[in-house]
Structure 1
Amino acid sequence: MTKSADQEHAPPSSSFPAYVFEGPAQVAIRTRTDDQPRYVDTRLPVWTWYDGGVVLKIDWAALDLTPEFNEIAKGFMAYALEKYAPQTAFMFARTLVYLSSTDLARYFPWDCQNLIAELNGFKQSRQNLIGFRRLYRWGVGRGISGFDKNTYLIVKNTKSGRVDPYQRIFLSQSGLDLDEEIRLLKRIDRDIPRDDWSEVQLNIMLHLSFELGPRSIQFHSLDVADFEVIETDGREKYYTLWLPMAKKVGQRRPERRPRKITARLGDKIKQHVSEIQRRFGNGCEPMFVSRTGGRLSVIEIGADLKYELREAGIDKPNQVTMLLRHHLGQGLADQGSPADVIAELLGHNSTVPAQAYVTATPNIARIKEKALGKSPAFQRIMRSLLTGEVVQRRDTTPEREVRGVIDTQYIGDIGACALPIHTHCPYNPVYACYTCKKFHPFADGRHEQVREALQRETQRFIDTAEHAGDLSHNRPLAQHQATILAVSATIERCQQHQKDGADDAV
């Protein structure tokens, strides 16, 4: 009698009893919103859950797995649904679908050499490899027969053959060109009839993408209750969005972090909330809704933003929320923001993607500087947009004055910050002020002292970079050069302001 191919692959049977899934009938999942099911029924042949308004499922009958491993897979999926985000659990489900197409699906326990051979297939997909690694680690951790630590170390050390997801950011600057940004701002600022609430909603989503760069799932998860308006005694209004972040392991619901938005965007959202509650009732919870009052799905949000970008004349591959998100991240890096600040503002759980923006080549910035710096029109635009309006020192309270240290030298008397008193600014004082609209430079401020200190610090960067042989791609040097240009533009603007004041006095 000859052995079948499956019998040849299979190792000797174990004396330990086979694993049987005896998990709960309903597994609690990590929901993002209150209007989606919170449990997965494990008694059904198809497990179904929801995320971002999209149905996710795994059909056990469609998987070609051995009965024993099918039980193991159910145990792993129940664990994944309870511990990880819904989309992460679905990634693991796709790993099981791929596994069912391999020889590993036809027998269990697995022979080590055959498993190693099959790893080449898993290496073609980074997500499949991660899913299989988590599956094997879960099996080892629970002492399930057929999983061993030595084989897990081999699986753990296997690297994906695909390109790192952030490599394309490392290799080039991401985002919009100057002319594209101008067209986008025109699209955001266009007049829209107030009775066309759905068009207003699209405009708000585009505007919000430009200011905060949220992902589609963050748009989907936003509720009306996440919008906050603070009115001061002086009748000034400040708007805050409590933006839902990506879920971390151990969190039942996504963390919400406060993000300041401009008054222009805040006014739009305030009117939009009033309109959708008038149409769909005060109990309407979602911030962005369909024409029937339901929460917009991530697919609908992506399609809407893609449409808005095309209408703005921006035609790039994958032009959804990630394009403006990359544009925001690269813009923060170009202004000198460190990786940890960028990671915080974009809601990353690590500084790896933020570091990609910081280390992107500065060549494009130098080309723009040379090309645009010769344009008088561009110089006028920069002088008017870099900071807020020029003010007099006597009109500012001491609490609002900006002070900081450059090149170990304390510098003050340069301007005032328009943020509410005692508000923590995430940027580095003085360094970032000259490219911030919240900064109001003093007409007679010590801006020359700031420029001289920056020039001294820049020279130290040059000396260090030349010694290390890394002058051409020294990002701090490029950032300091951009800041010096901004300070110089502010000095010219203040001089013009004082000259205009003197002429008015005559």
Structure 2
Amino acid sequence: MTKSADHEQASPSFSLPAYVFEGPAQVAIRTRTNDQPRYVDTRLSVWTWYDGGKAMKIDWAALHLNPNLMQIAKAFVAYALEKYAPVTAFKASGVFGRLSESDISAKFPWTRQEVITTISTWANFRESTIFFRTFYRWALNRGISGFDKGTYIALKEIKTIRLDPYERIFLSQSGLALDEEIRLLKRIEGGIPEKDWSEAQLNMLLHLSFELGPRSIQLHSLDIADFEFVESADHQKYYTLWLPMAKKVGQRRPERRPRKITTRLGEKISQHVSEIQRRFGGDDCLPLFVNRRGKRLSVQEIGLGLKHELNEAGIDKANQVTMLLRHHLGQGLADQGTPADMIAELLGHNSTVAARAYVTATPNIARIKEKALGKSPSYKRIMRSLLTGEIVQRRNTVSERAVRGVIDTQYIGDIGACALPVHTHCPYNPVYACYTCKKFHPFADGRHEQVREALQREAQRFIDIAEQAGDLIHNRPLAQHQTTILAVSATIERCRQHTEDAADGTV
């Protein structure tokens, strides 16, 4: 047995050199504003830092950890505070709270089996699992005793429940309905209370959220200095808000980007600035949004205020405030045909993934086009002659003729029947080729929407790969998918019309 194998199998009763955290007495953190503490005092038993007006703490004395491990954990949290945003650092520190409740909290070093057995029980706590891997890799890269590469590789094999951050956008329409938008606009334009400046501030927050869709943390971070206006020679005023970006990776201080706002909103902000400077100390007042004591509004206070405004407008959606208005803006931009990269820029995203989610989840333009085409007699004749065979009822079809296949790793059936002899092998790929084949007879109530959604997901994957390869223009598989998607959309419209005609007794 080799020395490494002996180390792996044996109980870790041997002693390691004691690790001592020798970091700075004060760790500089990534602050969003100038009026919050910029350092964490590492000499205290409770480390405290702030973000969004909320205090975040880690109480080392309350954690039941091996003393050697405690020192290593402090060094990692100090590293996280310097590297990550305050909220991310707080999430990273949470892994030690979960670790202190485990069977290996008082032990160190650990065997590989002890680590894997413990972390495998965290499958439902994806965030903790990821941050523990990050912690282990950090210690391994620094050559800290008690961490080995084999254990880290085994940690990477542990599967967690994957959460898609944009799943809600893909699966549901998360914006405002038309009647809700009308009520919201009435609330925005309903007049500002002259005597109650705090009510006027809430109205302005609602107006700003509707126009630009910022996150709560962006509203919290706004300063008076971020608002500016220019007056032209003909006395026209143009207003700009330098909006701090909330999720830009690797930046020490939030980047601010100029956003043009409407004259009405600009006038509201201008009046508001004059009022709060009069009330709370002139030029010494830095925040744009303050509470009744003149302190910067916290993220929680902003959320409660906007929730109140939405309720007053007759809009009551659980757990949705700024994100509701943010999704509504992204959805509206997508409906107007705005490119994904422009949506990403306007909403301050790091990539176009979320913007593509809006485009995929809001096919309103496609519906309008399909409806218009579906009413055209010429279009109907063309579709009948170029695409599929006659529409049939599922109940009138023998199961042997039913078409089944796989798209985007998803099994799909119950879409139609094939007119080829039962034992004839079709030379084309089922489902993909069916919607442009005269031998295919779509079911009137077939799952054609499911086919279209699967094709759209697969086409997006082609787009992503083609973008990386720089071959987005001359991409035959992508062009084929787009043609098939159009054919499926046409079939959906034909089936809908067929069902309506059957209900009217015309077929």
Letter in 1 for 2:312: E
Q: Which 5+ residue runs of structure 1 have no aligned equivalent?
A: 1-7, 375-461, 479-506
1:132-190 Cα offsets, whole Å, 9 max, x none, are: 12211211121111222232233334443153222121112221111111111111110
Residue 330 to residue 159, structure 1, CA distance change in 2 (3 Å)? farther
Q: Is the CA contact 2:335–2:362 (under 8 Å) kept in the aligned structure 1? A: no
Provide the TM-score with structure 1 as the length reference: 0.70
Correspondence for 2:419: none
Correspondence for 2:443: none
Give the Å deviation of 1:278. 0.9
1:452-502 Cα offsets, whole Å, 9 max, x none, are: xxxxxxxxxx9955643465579xxx9xxxxxxxxxxxxxxxxxxxxxxxx
Correspondence for 2:319: 318
Q: Is the CA contact 1:247–1:253 (under 8 Å) kept in the aligned structure 2? A: no
What SS does the aligned partner of 1:164 have? coil
Q: Is the CA contact 1:31–1:51 (under 8 Å) kept in the aligned structure 2? A: yes
Q: Which 5+ residue runs of structure 2 have no aligned equivalent?
A: 1-7, 376-477, 494-507
When the two structures are aligned, how many residues end up with a matched partner? Answer: 381
Q: Is the CA contact 1:362–1:473 (under 8 Å) kept in the aligned structure 2? A: no
Letter in 1 for 2:125: S
Aligned counterpart for 2:484 among listed residues 456, 460, 468 = 468
Q: Is the CA contact 1:9–1:107 (under 8 Å) kept in the aligned structure 2? A: no
Give the Å deviation of 1:255. 0.8
Q: Does 1:292 align with 2:313?
A: no
Give the Å deviation of 1:340. 2.0
Q: Is the CA contact 1:309–1:319 (under 8 Å) kept in the aligned structure 2? A: no
1:210-261 Cα offsets, whole Å, 9 max, x none, are: 1111111111110000001012223221111111112544422111111111
Q: Is the CA contact 1:309–1:315 (under 8 Å) kept in the aligned structure 2? A: yes
Correspondence for 2:269: 269
Give the Å deviation of 1:120. 2.9
State the alpha-carbon separation in 2 of the partners of residues 26 and 183 from structure 1: 50
Flag the structure with larger Rg. Answer: 2
Q: Which moved more, 1:35-44 or 1:149-158?
A: 149-158
State the alpha-carbon separation in 2 of the partners of residues 139 and 54 from structure 1: 29
State the alpha-carbon separation in 1 of the partners of residues 294 and 370 from structure 2: 48
State the alpha-carbon separation in 2 of the partners of residues 121 and 307 from structure 1: 41
Correspondence for 2:342: 341
Q: Is the CA contact 1:213–1:325 (under 8 Å) kept in the aligned structure 2? A: yes
State the alpha-carbon separation in 2 of the partners of residues 248 and 104 from structure 1: 36
Q: Is the CA contact 1:14–1:145 (under 8 Å) kept in the aligned structure 2? A: no
Correspondence for 1:81: 81
Correspondence for 2:417: none
Please identify runs of 4+ aligned residues in structure 1 that moved more than 4 A.
13-16, 367-371, 462-466, 469-474
Q: How does 1:4-43 map to 2 (within 5 A)?
A: 11-13=11-13, 16-43=16-43
State the alpha-carbon separation in 1 of the partners of residues 153 and 479 from structure 2: 46
CA RMSD of aligned residues (A): 2.8
State the alpha-carbon separation in 2 of the partners of residues 466 and 77 from structure 1: 49
Q: Is the CA contact 1:125–1:162 (under 8 Å) kept in the aligned structure 2? A: no
What SS does the aligned partner of 2:314 have? coil
Q: How does 1:60-139 map to 2 (within 5 A)?
A: 60-139=60-139
Letter in 1 for 2:40: V
Q: Is the CA contact 1:51–1:87 (under 8 Å) kept in the aligned structure 2? A: yes
State the alpha-carbon separation in 2 of the partners of residues 359 and 466 from structure 1: 14
Residue 310 to residue 368, structure 1, CA distance change in 2 (3 Å)? farther
Q: Is the CA contact 1:10–1:107 (under 8 Å) kept in the aligned structure 2? A: no
Correspondence for 2:199: 199
Q: How does 1:417-432 map to 2 (within 5 A)?
A: none
What SS does the aligned partner of 2:61 have? coil
Give the Å deviation of 1:48. 0.6
1:252-302 Cα offsets, whole Å, 9 max, x none, are: 211111111111111100111011111112211000000111101111111
1:419-473 Cα offsets, whole Å, 9 max, x none, are: xxxxxxxxxxxxxxxxxxxxxxxxxxxxxxxxxxxxxxxxxxx995564346557
Correspondence for 2:407: none
Q: Does 1:255 align with 2:255?
A: yes
Correspondence for 1:53: 53
